[in-house]
Amino acid sequence: MPREDEAQPRTSNWGPKEYEWAREQAERYDETAGTEAAELRGRPIVVFTNRGAKSGRLYKTAVMRVEHDGVYAAVASKGGAPENPKWYANLKAHPRVELRDGAVKREYIAREVSGMERDEWWARAVEAWPDYAEYQKKTDRTIPVFVFEPVPAGSADED
């Protein structure tokens, strides 16, 4: 994964205007090395950086902090919309990410989970952000859950 400072300016490649709050959250979190804007409504967030599926550009995404034993989860809820967020396709195409949790940054490999493993992570996610349960009621799709597992030391830089 290229360095975070190689990311494209977020203002030029960010999604629709309704995601302005998310862009601002990710930028503020990044600019303060995770010391400010590290929460949403009193709940902690993390920011991951990954490549765009089509553009190859780097993007930053703020998600709720769902962590267990050094592994993180990202829930592709999009607030219960009928479609997945754009970052879903990005993770499927380029699963290697850099995740910032406060001042700590580390490389991870993302994978979508299913079955009992998804159920376990879904329960953790709902505990971290209860709104996820309401989002699931609003949509017919099963909301995808990704886990981010640490990249072993000495692994190649590209995904």
Half-sphere exposure of 8 (CA within 13 A, CB side): 14
Query: Which of 43-47, 86-90, 140-144 bottoms out in mean pLDDT, i.e. has the lowest?
Result: 43-47
CA angle, residues 125, 130, 135, in degrees to nearest 5 = 90
Task: Please give the residue that has the higher pLDDT: either 60 or 72.
Answer: 72
Does domain 4-150 fall under CATH 2.40.50.140? My reply is no
Query: Which of 40-44, 64-68, 144-148 bottoms out in mean pLDDT, i.e. has the lowest?
Result: 40-44
Nearest CA to 32 out of 22, 21, 43, 24 is that of: 24
Q: How confident is the model at residue 76 (pLDDT cuts 50, 70, 90)?
A: very high
Distance separating alpha carbons of residues 34 and 112, to the nearest angstrom: 26
Residues 6+ apart with CB under 8 A from 16: none
Distance separating alpha carbons of residues 149 and 133, to the nearest angstrom: 24
**Is pLDDT of 159 > 80?**
no
Q: What is this structure's pTM?
A: 0.81
- As a whole number, mean pLDDT of residues 68-91 equals 96
Write down the domain spans for the chain.
4-150
How do residues 27-48 score in pLDDT, each as one tens digit? 776 676 665 556 566 788 898 9
Longest alpha-carbon distance in the chain: 43
The per-residue DSSP string of 75-116 comes to E--GGG-SS--HHHHHHHH--EEEEEETTEEEEEEEEE--HH
Looking at residue 45, what is its pLDDT? 87
Looking at residue 157, what is its pLDDT? 58
Task: Please give the residue that has the higher pLDDT: either 94 or 158.
Answer: 94
